[in-house]
Amino acid sequence: MRKVSLALAAALFLVSGAQATPVASGLHGIVTRGPIVPVCVAEQPCTAPAKNTTLLFSRNGQVIARTKTDLAGRYHLRLRPGTYGVSLTTRLRIGRGLEPDHVGVRAGHYARFDFSIDTGIR
């Protein structure tokens, strides 16, 4: 009886270890836009949160995930490890657009990654 109990305990240990949940990975951060005025003045904001902005994350030309910023420009997204192209759902007519346009996600790690949108106001 004792041999059966030890064998059962060992089998359960192995099975539970094989089914361990992997640690999630992804990104979080803030998206800002700016400049928001033609001339930046000391002690006045030159950028603002990019609220309700949708970011697209793609690999091999295919959108893998999307996330929308809140009113403070914050986002949080679970992503598998790898390198992703990042873009906006709308194309800007002026400015350089979203920077940076590529990010890397490490396995088992949520990294802070902030983006900025160049509005082209000069």
The DSSP bridge pattern shows strands 26-34 and 110-112 to be parallel
pLDDT tens digits for the chain (122 residues)?
Answer: 555 454 544 444 444 444 555 669 999 999 999 998 888 888 888 999 999 999 999 999 999 999 999 999 999 999 999 999 999 988 777 778 899 999 999 999 999 999 999 988 77
pLDDT of residue 39: 86
The DSSP bridge pattern shows strands 82-88 and 115-118 to be unpaired
Structure tokens at 33: 């836009």
Superfamily of domain 22-118: Immunoglobulins (2.60.40.10)
pLDDT of residue 28: 97
Distance of alpha carbon 112 from alpha carbon 9, whole angstroms: 41
pLDDT of residue 15: 46
Structure tokens at 34: 């700016």
Match 């906006």 to its residue by tokens. Answer: 88
Contact 120, 38 (CB under 8 A): no
pLDDT of residue 106: 95
pTM of the entire predicted model = 0.76
Structure tokens at 82: 């790898």
Match 């059966």 to its residue by tokens. Answer: 4
CA nearest neighbour of 31 among 59, 4, 52, 6: 52
The domain ranges of the chain are 22-118
